[in-house]
Amino acid sequence: MIARFLDRVRFAGTTDVVVIGAGHSGLAASYFLNEQSIDHVVLERGEVANSWRNERWDSLKLLTPNWQSRLPGFSYSGNDPDGFMSMPEVIDFIEDYAKFSGAPVRTRTTVLSVSKASDGYRVVTDKGTWKTKAVVLASGACNTASVPKVAKLVPSHVAQLTPQDYRNPGQVEEGGVLVVGASASGLQLADELQRAGHDVTIAAGEHVRIPRTYRGHDIQFWMERTGIMNERYDEVDDIVRARGLPSPQLVGSHEPGLLDLNYLAGNGAKVVGRLMGVNNGVAQFSGSLRNIAALADLKMNRLLDAIDEWVLRNSVLCDAPQRFDATGIDESPALTLDLDGRNIRTVVWATGYRPDYGWLDVPVLDRKGRLKHDGGVVDAPGMYVLGLPMMRRRKSSFIYGIEDDARELMSHLASYLHRPNRCDDQYEVGQNPAHVNVAA
């Protein structure tokens, strides 16, 4: 049935490369493909910057300051370099970049299937089929909210939202809210809902605690200046764990300077451990909250120590070092919570995201549905991916971090296209078929 349907889809064209996704990653790939005069097309299911338009809450701002907003050949040019872009500003920034780069974007074109063909790949869309020698997956890392199985045990009268569903407090029913997850999204939504008058409980698992500013500069200044964000994927001990770390507890604002569990608790939130189950309307939490919080404090202080050492070694003039109060956790954190007894009317699942590769008919996913790749070189000749966390560097998932990744991978792609009999190659994932070193 599917095969007959695909056969009836009209032919759209032939090109060397199909880039899937017109966010900042896909547009950066297009920039370097244009630079090397490689024929390509960028397919986008909605409009340019589609996920920023339709899958973000109203008050969200970038976690990186404006001075760090840059893409290949293009950077922020406003008069507030230390501020943080709102979602409309991010959309404008990416739209302006699409115009600047001259990317050949086909909007309102949904990819239905990507499969192997005799000389590359067949990309079927709702607007026709493309024949291509190579494919760049730039569809994003946050296509689908990761909601744990325990969500099925939440009573039906309790509303459930993800950060993709949530827009503002006005859509949340009066009463208590349980926010599950203590990364950037979880803390920001918990803070916003608490300010709107909701009684908030936040269930915190593993998290990354860092201050917004340190020694007179934004933390991103130090992370970039010290080279921490340039650490490569092949330099870490456990790349799977590094790619799975939650986003740091930051907010796109200088107030508060440290949005953490202490801040929420100080404003009245109830802090509990990781949500483990729900039984007859009673939520059950892990008893490891104190250890998890202590570990987050330890890692934050190690980071600040590393910055202090770098400042001393390089004789940088800046403010004096500082340390922050340890996370205050009760001696015996609550292990259960009666949802009705606490008047919990809504659960917000701030438990992360995952890419959606349901349209990818090439055997490149592992048993957990993760894309098999080595630094963006997918385990299939001529296929690449951009924009995933810690893909090639710690900065890979940030807007400013895409330039180096895209430059290297599109150079690798160009070498692949110029290799004779490229589709007969059976090289291992991560090997460069043209023997070109893709390392920085």
Per residue in 118-131, pLDDT (tens digit) is 899 999 999 999 99
Same domain, 161 and 288: yes
Answer whether residue 10 shows pLDDT above 70. Answer: yes
Specify if 160 maps to a domain: yes
Statement to judge: residues 398 and 305 lie in one domain: no
pLDDT band, very low/low/confident/very high, at 424 (cuts 50, 70, 90): low
* Inside any domain, residue 429: no
pLDDT for 307-359, tens place per residue?
A: 999 999 999 999 999 999 999 998 888 999 999 999 999 999 999 998 999 99
Read off the pLDDT band of 257 (50, 70, 90): confident
Does 34 lie in the same domain as 127?
Answer: yes
- Whether 438 shows a pLDDT value over 60: the answer reads no
Percent of the chain with pLDDT strictly greater than 70 = 93
CA distance 434 to 149: 44
154 shares a domain with 250: yes
Whole-angstrom distance, CA of residue 308 vs CA of residue 294: 21
For residue 209 the two structure tokens come to 């605690």
- Per-residue pLDDT of 32-41, as tens digits, reads 999 999 999 9
251 in the same domain as 102: no
Domain containing 294 equals: 150-351
DSSP 67: G
How far are the Cα atoms of 205, 290, 420 from residue 295, in angstroms, in the given order? 11, 9, 52
End-to-end CA distance of the chain: 46
Indicate yes or no: pTM above 0.85: yes
Residues 73 and 176 in one domain: no
Looking at the structure, tell me whether residues 278 and 391 fall in a common domain. Answer: no
Q: For the chain, what percent of residues have pLDDT higher than 90?
A: 85
pLDDT band at residue 1 using 50, 70 and 90 as cut-offs: very low
CATH at 403 = 3.50.50.60
Domain termination residue (choose one: 291, 325, 351) = 351
Task: Evaluate whether residue 112 is within a structural domain.
Answer: yes
Whole-angstrom Cα distance, residue 399 to residue 403? 8
Strand intervals (E) in 168-269: 176-180, 200-203, 213-214, 217-218
Q: For residue 180, is it within any domain?
A: yes
Number of domains forming the structure of the chain: 2
The verdict on 157 and 257 lying in the same domain is yes
Answer with the one of 351, 383, 400 that is the final residue of a domain. 351
User: Is 438 contained in some domain?
Assistant: no
Q: Are residues 63 and 81 in the same domain?
A: yes
Nearest 5°: the CA angle 21, 27, 28 is 125
Do 112 and 17 share a structural domain? yes
Cβ neighbors of 416 (< 8 A, separation 6 or more) are 134, 381, 382, 422, 433, 434
Summarize the confidence of residues 354-383 as an average pLDDT.
Answer: 94
305 and 414 inside one domain: no
- Is 432 within a domain? no
